[in-house]
């Protein structure tokens, strides 16, 4: 099993190209199920999760063609052979549940396994089920599979979400494009990935208003057509690489970065003593002082601080001047990286969903183990600031969300390599 070895103490300088968003691509790919005509995605990320979604769609009979070294994906579901999403594929990734809404919308039936993915707490499917049932779906859980049908098709409805779930918003948004009548999603998630999905669906012929707000209105149409759509910049990869020079020192420009994607994150960086400036090609980041300042962080739904940047931020605050408090309000069990950071000399106390981090002068390299995707990269970042060598094992999580991370960091001066056991 591969590991990544990081030797700290080297400042970073240069440019890092930010890929298309994993979470956007994983939502856009199932949108092909809504049309017989091809959907072409450009700026696609090259990740293991994309390969998993490709395998799932192919198991349904979707034709998926990768071009330009995987950066362009052409999908066509004109000759589908199945409406069953099998456990053996779905268990690998929670985003697999996003085939449920499109299958119900176009084929009026679906059998979808309950999903898997990182072990960072419950991501309940009942929000998806309740929302689709409001649109006329009949859904039953049997033997770990959701058996869903919509005799005569889905119908427009008022769909209030009890929580601003990104996945449920995406599932209902796609399903509503082919429903009869008007659907109004209330308490909708507002993430940039949802705005990106709406843009793509609109280019396919959907009638959608209000994406990016808490109320989205969709007027169903009879059919959707072909489209070509560029995947939005990955704001989590962007935030991750923006932190790299904060750990190691130096100055890094993140190509393709946009302030509107990371507004709340940049506010916290500014409070911690980090300069972020716009350039013609992205965002440039550097520390204002030799040591970052402590800052409190609470994760929230967009536009609040992203839960997917919490682990990276915690790692950065381990060497900040002062005491920081991080509160995780999106997922339980998302402080599993804390014990690994403690192995590197961090001073962290965790009580339920609250972690108190007292900054230390320096971390020390150590063998550590990744527990989930974002925890993986937080340990690599910590290694950039640590004294000596850090070996991060179980990095199969990492490849789900970051393409060629060691190459990108080496390109700005980091001493990092991937080694095989």
Please answer whether residues 177 and 185 qualify as being in contact, where contact means their C-beta atoms are separated by less than 8 angstroms: no
Are 178 and 242 in a shared domain? no
What does the CA dihedral 244, 250, 254, 257 come to, rounded to 10 degrees? 80
The answer to the question of whether 290 is labelled as a binding residue is: no
The answer to the question of whether 321 is labelled as a binding residue is: no
User: Could you give the number of structural domains in the chain?
Assistant: 2
pTM of the model: 0.92
**pLDDT tens, residue order, the chain (421 aa):** 789 999 999 999 999 999 999 999 999 999 999 999 999 999 999 998 899 999 999 999 999 999 999 899 999 999 999 999 998 888 878 778 999 999 999 999 999 988 754 333 445 688 999 999 999 999 999 888 999 999 999 999 999 999 999 999 999 999 999 999 999 999 999 999 999 999 999 999 999 999 999 999 999 999 999 999 999 999 999 999 999 999 999 999 999 999 999 999 999 999 999 999 999 999 999 999 999 999 999 999 999 999 999 999 999 999 999 999 999 998 777 898 999 999 999 999 999 999 999 999 999 999 999 888 888 999 999 999 999 999 999 998 888 889 899 999 999 999 999 998 7
Q: Which of the following is catalytic: 118, 200, 254, 318?
A: 118
- Write out the residue range of the structural domain in which residue 94 sits: 22-230
Question: Strand runs (DSSP E) across 61-180, as ranges?
Answer: 63-67, 72-76, 84-85, 109-113, 138-142, 145-149, 158-160
pLDDT for res 120: 33
pLDDT for res 121: 40
pLDDT for res 122: 46
The answer to the question of whether 348 is labelled as a binding residue is: no
**118 annotated active-site:** yes
SS3 106: helix
Are 270 and 224 in a shared domain? no
Cis peptide before 25 (omega within 30 of 0): no
Beta bridge partners of 74: 40, 65
Both structure tokens of 358: 């007292």
Are 254 and 202 in a shared domain? no
Are 321 and 337 in a shared domain? yes
The CA distance from 201 to 164, in Å, is 20
Are 119 and 243 in a shared domain? no
CATH number assigned to the domain comprising residue 268: 3.65.10.10
Are 251 and 392 in a shared domain? yes
Are 216 and 157 in a shared domain? yes
Please answer whether residues 41 and 73 qualify as being in contact, where contact means their C-beta atoms are separated by less than 8 angstroms: yes
Are 288 and 392 in a shared domain? yes
Of 200, 230, 260, which marks where a domain is finished? 230
Of 177, 210, 230, which marks where a domain is finished? 230
Are 26 and 150 in a shared domain? yes
Both structure tokens of 136: 């006329």
Are 197 and 310 in a shared domain? no
The answer to the question of whether 43 is labelled as a binding residue is: no
Are 11 and 27 in a shared domain? no
Beta bridge partners of 183: 218
Beta bridge partners of 233: 20
SS3 282: strand
Cα–Cα distances (Å) from 397 to 50, 244, 282, in that order, read 13, 19, 27
Are 287 and 269 in a shared domain? yes
The CA distance from 374 to 236, in Å, is 9
The answer to the question of whether 405 is labelled as a binding residue is: no
The CA distance from 193 to 25, in Å, is 8
Of 169, 197, 230, which marks where a domain is finished? 230
């Amino acid at each position: 099993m591969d590991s990544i070895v990081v030797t700290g103490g080297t400042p970073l300088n240069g440019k890092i190209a930010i890929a298309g968003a994993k979470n956007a691509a994983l939502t856009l790919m199932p949108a092909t199920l809504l049309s017989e005509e091809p959907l072409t995605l450009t700026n696609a990320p090259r990740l293991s999760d994309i390969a998993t979604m490709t395998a799932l769609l192919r198991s349904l009979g979707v034709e998926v063609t990768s071009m330009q070294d995987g950066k362009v994906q052409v999908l066509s579901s004109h000759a589908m052979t199945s409406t069953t999403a099998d456990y053996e594929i779905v268990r690998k990734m929670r985003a697999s549940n996003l085939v449920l809404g499109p299958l119900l919308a176009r084929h009026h039936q679906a059998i979808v396994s309950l999903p898997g993915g990182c072990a960072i707490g419950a991501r309940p499917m009942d929000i998806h089920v309740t929302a689709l049932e409001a649109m006329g779906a009949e859904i039953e859980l049997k033997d770990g599979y959701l058996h869903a049908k919509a005799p005569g098709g889905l119908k427009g409805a008022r769909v209030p979400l009890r929580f601003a779930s990104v996945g449920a918003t995406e599932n209902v948004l796609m399903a509503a494009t082919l429903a009869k009548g008007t659907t109004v999603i209330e308490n909708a998630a507002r993430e940039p990935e949802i705005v990106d999905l709406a843009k793509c669906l609109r280019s396919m012929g959907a009638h959608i208003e209000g994406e990016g707000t808490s109320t989205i209105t969709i007027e169903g149409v009879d059919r959707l057509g072909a489209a070509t759509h560029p995947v939005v910049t990955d704001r989590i990869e962007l935030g991750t690489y923006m932190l790299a020079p904060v750990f190691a020192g130096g100055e890094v420009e993140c190509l393709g970065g946009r302030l509107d994607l990371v507004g709340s994150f940049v506010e916290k960086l500014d409070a911690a003593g980090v300069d972020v400036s716009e350039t013609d090609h992205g965002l440039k980041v550097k520390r204002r002082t030799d040591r970052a300042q402590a800052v409190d962080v609470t994760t929230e739904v967009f536009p609040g601080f992203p839960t997917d940047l919490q682990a990276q931020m915690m790692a950065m605050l381990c060497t900040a001047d002062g005491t920081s408090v991080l509160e995780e309000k999106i997922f339980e069990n998302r402080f599993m990286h804390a014990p690994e950071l403690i192995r590197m000399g961090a001073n962290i106390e965790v009580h339920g969903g609250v972690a108190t981090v007292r900054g230390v002068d320096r971390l020390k390299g150590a063998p550590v183990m990744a527990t989930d995707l974002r925890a993986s990269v937080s340990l690599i970042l910590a290694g950039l600031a640590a004294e000596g060598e850090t070996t991060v094992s179980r990095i199969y999580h990492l490849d789900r969300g970051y393409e060629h991370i060691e190459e990108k960091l080496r390109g700005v001066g980091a001493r990092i390599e991937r080694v095989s056991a």
